[in-house]
Structure 1
Amino acid sequence: MAKIGGAAERYATALFELAKDAKAIDAVEADLNALLAALTESAELADAMSSPLYEAEGKAAALAAIADKAGFNDLTKSTLGVMARNGRAGLAGDLARGFSARAAAERGISEAHVTSAAKLTQKEIDALKASLKRALGREIEIRTDVDPAVLGGLIVQVGSRMFDSSLRTKLEGLRTAMKEA
């Protein structure tokens, strides 16, 4: 759940501004969400995009093929191509997350990043969304990640606020308390 920064932040900002001018925010966001899902589902694809063993042109060609097959917006295609040719293909996931955060903010929605030990059901996501809306007083869009190291519970981050009810954190607290005793 690390915040994006550096080059990914700059690409996300530039793409968002271009998409906003072209009134294509929703289309570009859908493209990037599809790419993020592909990178999440295929470790081989994510590794290939990050690997220095593959040349930038090869990565650009692979991203172009994915974009063409999926029917991505021209802004999405060109941004991914520029990123890949500049040796930044490994930042595609961060680009997607950064763009999504800007799109949500533009719509007046806060984005919550939720990490759990196992995949959450839609019913659990809906209940969490309703609970966060009551607590924060605004619409919430939820992005989920699975990290088995959490062991149980949830880690929820909304902006700079973090709520950590994970079993891992509770066990670490107990371990620290036992050392001090």
Structure 2
Amino acid sequence: MVNVSIARRYARALLDVSSEAGRIDAVAEQLSAFADIVAKNPELADVLHNPAYSRTQRAQVVEGVMKLIPQMEAVLANTLRLLVDRNRLSYVPDIARVFRDMADARAGRVRGSVTSAATLSADSLAQLKQTLQKMTQREVILETRVDPSLLGGVSAQVGSILYDGSLRTQLDGMRRELKQH
């Protein structure tokens, strides 16, 4: 069971320190990169999370992974070393997610995802992003996905709000309406 309050405390502390240095976005990017490296390598994750390995062994592995990230921010390197010392490495993915959310909130950004039946052109994506920014009054960072089952149209989720203009949803709505009559 993951304790989100622990992840939030570390993320908030890291945000405060990286804010003083003016390096929030760089730290967010590097922390996500570190979490991705660990997530994509099961053997590495095992060393970092398995209590059978000593703290020294985990520290050596963390130092090795940090070398894979070019010009790692000192505040992040110190935080990762602290997580090793306190046996909190298992919280890195949650800390990365919470940190990114806090950094986005501080910068007035919101993340969203767009799902379409086919790959969107750069112009269509830019227009959609601009429309979502007007609706949310915030900078929108979009992740795109393709789902052929939508048949046509676009479905966008920004924060907790879903904007569904997919053909599949429209057809389902028509089907429900026809069944009622």
Which interval holds the TM-score relative to the shorter structure? 0.5 to 0.7
Q: Distance in 2 between matches of 1:19 and 1:12?
A: 10
C-alpha distance 39-27 of structure 1, shift in aligned 2 (>3 A): same
Query: d(CA) in 2 for partners of 1:49 and 1:130?
Result: 44
2:84 matched to which residue of 1?
84
Question: 1: distance between equivalents of 2:163 and 2:74?
Answer: 40
TM-superposition CA deviations, 1:126-163 (whole Å, max 9, x none): 45533321321221123x498x9xx76757251xx232
Unpaired runs of 5+ residues, structure 2, are 177-181
In 2, are the aligned partners of 1:133 and 1:139 still within 8 Å (CA)?
Answer: yes
- Measure, in 2, the Cα distance between the counterparts of 1:66 and 1:84: 13
Contact map agreement 1:8 1:91 (CA 8 A) in 2? yes
TM-score by length of 2: 0.65
CA-based RMSD of the aligned residues comes to 4.1
The 3 A distance-change label for structure 1 pair 117 and 52 is: farther
Tell me how far 1:17 sits from its aligned partner.
0.5
Normalising by structure 1, we get a TM-score of 0.65
Per the alignment, residue 46 of structure 2 pairs with 48
In structure 2, C-alpha distance between the alignment counterparts of 1:47 and 1:116, rounded to whole Å: 31
Q: CA deviation at 1:10?
A: 0.6
- Aligned residue for 2:87, secondary structure, equals coil
Aligned residue for 2:84, secondary structure, equals helix
Distance 1:36 1:85, change over 3 A: same
* Amino acid aligned to 2:46: A
How has the CA–CA distance of structure 1 residues 117 and 136 changed in structure 2, closer, same or farther, with 3 Å as cutoff? closer
Q: 1:59 to 1:103 in 2, by over 3 A?
A: same
Note the alpha carbon deviations across 1:92-146, whole angstroms, 9 max, x for none: 1222222222222222x2222438699x77847645533321321221123x498
Q: Is the 8 A contact 2:110 2:138 kept in 1?
A: no
